[in-house]
Structure 1
Amino acid sequence: MSARPLGRSLAVLAAVISAIAIPAIQMTQNIGLTAAEFSSQGDQTLRVAGYAFSIWGLIYFGLTAYAIYQLTMARETPTLRAVAWPSVVAITGCGAWILASAFNQQALTVAIIVASAAVMVAGLRRARAEEAPAFRDKLLIVWPLSLLAGWLTIASAVNILTVLTAQGIIGPDLTWAVIGIAAVLLVGGAVGWALGSPFYLAPIIWGLGGVYVAQQADKPTAAWLAAAAALLLAVEAAATLRKRRL
């Protein structure tokens, strides 16, 4: 193990602070659209129940623990080296998305959230290629970042459908809702298996549960498909418990 780069550690800390502070400032100062107002412009195709977004509390808690832990580590570890800079990009993207949505930059929100998810998944893939991390590294580095990556995955699909609907490119048809759910199942399932991580799959399952609750009245078929997708991913998550290294 080598010395931990201080500049990188401070960048992680700054990214986490900004990710938590920006939505708080945006909300208290009434800057632009709220996330709910932004989403309401095009959420007729696929909607997630509001309670599901409470997962951000858990994600922020995990990211705070990660930021403090990596800042206080005496030595570098292969796991931290693999995920640190990708996490800076992905976590910074969380705050950037809030600003983009506040100013109704619809295409930019898609670019930010998809890039953030992809970069974080790539970092976790690199970490999996390294030696198996110690339990403390799993608890305070890998698992919080896996939760973030998983939530960004399902949020990317919903964000894309929201923007396409808001811009009139697609209509709020059941077909597009089904395509969105299928994409979440296929992408989430493939990445979850590659990572061998139930912690990546858990927020996707949670989000699909939110789709089930939100769509029961308007699109019951989509609701039940979301429930079925959540069940399939839950089975996969249980299977990954046997093979996971992260």
Structure 2
Amino acid sequence: MSARPLGRSLAVFAAVIAAIAIPAIQMTQSIGLTAAEFSSQGDQTLRVAGYAFSIWGLIYFGLAAYAIYQLTVARETPTLRAVAWPSVVAIAGCGAWILASAFNQQWLTIAIIVTSAGVMVAGLKRARADAPAPAFRDKLLIVWPLSLLAGWLTIASAVNILTVLTAQGIIGPDLTWAAIGIAAVLLVGGLVGWTLRSRFYLAPIIWGLMGVYVAEQAGKPTAAWLAAGAALLLALEAAAALRKGRG
């Protein structure tokens, strides 16, 4: 194994610090719109219960552990080499999204979140190809935290797209578009989850879909049950990955 590039490690660390600090600063200093205010402009098509966003606490904890680990590990590993730079893009995108939403740059939020999700998934797929059996420490402190992030960004991308399209008046807040959004999450999440064989990627998508179920029970019960059904299918896929002992 070669030496770990210090510059890359510092870039990862800086991205994590920014991703955690920017929302804290934006909230405490009341800069622009909050994430909730931004979403309320177009969440009539598909909503996620507010409690579901508490998953960011777990994601931030995992990212902090990853940042410290990759900065202090002495040697390069195939897993770290595969995901490090993609993780810089994806994690920095989390902070950039907060700023874009605060200043109500709706189309920019879509570009940021979709790019972040796609780049992170690509990095994880490369890691799986380069290091199909990583050491447990690399799983615990690299693969699993980044898989949680990629999974949440996947479902958040779909919700963000529907929110912006609704806010722009391009689509109406009806069941058809809600169903399309849920189907897209199921299709993309299912295919990526199957490729990665990762329950940690699927878990936040399932969590988010159940958040849709809770939020839409009263206003769109059909959409709520579609989300619950999609969550169940992905949970079965996650259980299959667990039985096979995959990440």
Q: TM-score scaled by structure 1?
A: 0.99
Indicate the residue corresponding to 1:222 in structure 2. Answer: 223
**Residue number in structure 1 paired with 2:96:** 96
C-alpha separation in 1, matches of 2:120 and 2:159: 18
Q: Is 1:23 paired with 2:32?
A: no
> Identity of paired residues, percent?
89
For residues 18 and 124 of structure 1, what CA distance do their matches in structure 2 show? 22
1:190 aligned partner: 191
Task: Say which SS state the counterpart of residue 85 (structure 1) adopts.
Answer: helix
Q: Does 1:116 align with 2:116?
A: yes
Deviations 1:126-164 (A, max 9, x none): 000023100010000000000000000000000000000
Distance 1:89 1:80 in 2: 14
Alpha-carbon distance between aligned partners in 2 of 1:151 and 1:243, rounded to the nearest angstrom: 23
Aligned partner of 2:10 in structure 1 is 10
- Deviation string 1:72-122 (CA, Å, 9 cap, x unpaired) is 000000000000000000000000000000000000000000000000000
Q: Distance in 2 between matches of 1:206 and 1:62?
A: 17
SS at match of 1:146: helix
Q: 1:187 to 1:107 in 2, by over 3 A?
A: same
CA deviation after TM superposition for structure 1 residue 234, in Å: 0.2
Q: Give the aligned partner of residue 167 of structure 2.
A: 166
Counterpart of 1:236, as a letter, is E
1:201 & 1:242 partners in 2: Cα distance? 14
Superposition deviation, residue 241 in structure 1: 1.8
Quick one: which amino acid aligns to residue 228 of structure 1?
G
Corresponding residue for 1:54? 54
1:38-74 superposed Cα distances (whole Å, 9 cap, x missing partner): 0000000000000000000000000000000000000
* Residues 1:42 and 2:45 are matched in the alignment: no
Does the aligned pair in 2 maintain the 1:34–1:102 contact within 8 Å?
yes
Instruction: Supply the distance in 1 between the matched residues of 2:191 and 2:38 (Cα, whole angstroms).
Output: 30
TM-aligned CA deviation for residue 242 of structure 1 = 3.6
Name the CA distance, whole Å, in 1 between partners of 2:105 and 2:154: 20
**1:16 & 1:161 partners in 2: Cα distance?**
27
Cα distance, 1:243 vs structure 2: 3.8
| Superposed structure 1 runs of 4+ greater than 4 Å apart | none
Structure 2 equivalent of residue 135 of structure 1: 136
**Shift in Å at residue 245 of structure 1?**
4.5
Residue 73 of structure 1: aligned partner: 73
AA matched with 2:102: A
CA distance in 1, matches of 2:175, 2:104: 25
Residue identity in the other structure for 2:208 = G
Following superposition, the deviation at residue 244 of structure 1 comes to: 5.3
Contact 1:209 1:227 in 2 (8 A): yes
Matched to 2:218, the amino acid is A
The answer to whether the aligner puts 1:210 opposite 2:211 as a matched pair is yes
Query: Per-residue displacement from partner, 1:176-235 (whole Å, max 9, x unpaired)?
Result: 000000000000000000000000000000000000000000000000000000000000
Spell out, residue by residue over 1:3-38, the C-alpha distance to the aligned partner (whole angstroms, 9 max, x if none).
000000000000000000000000000000000000
SS in structure 2 of the partner of residue 178 of structure 1: helix
The whole-number CA distance in structure 2 between the counterparts of 1:214 and 1:76 is 44
| Structure 2 unpaired stretches of 5+ | none
Give the aligned CA root-mean-square deviation in angstroms.
Answer: 0.7
State the one-letter code of the partner of 1:94: C
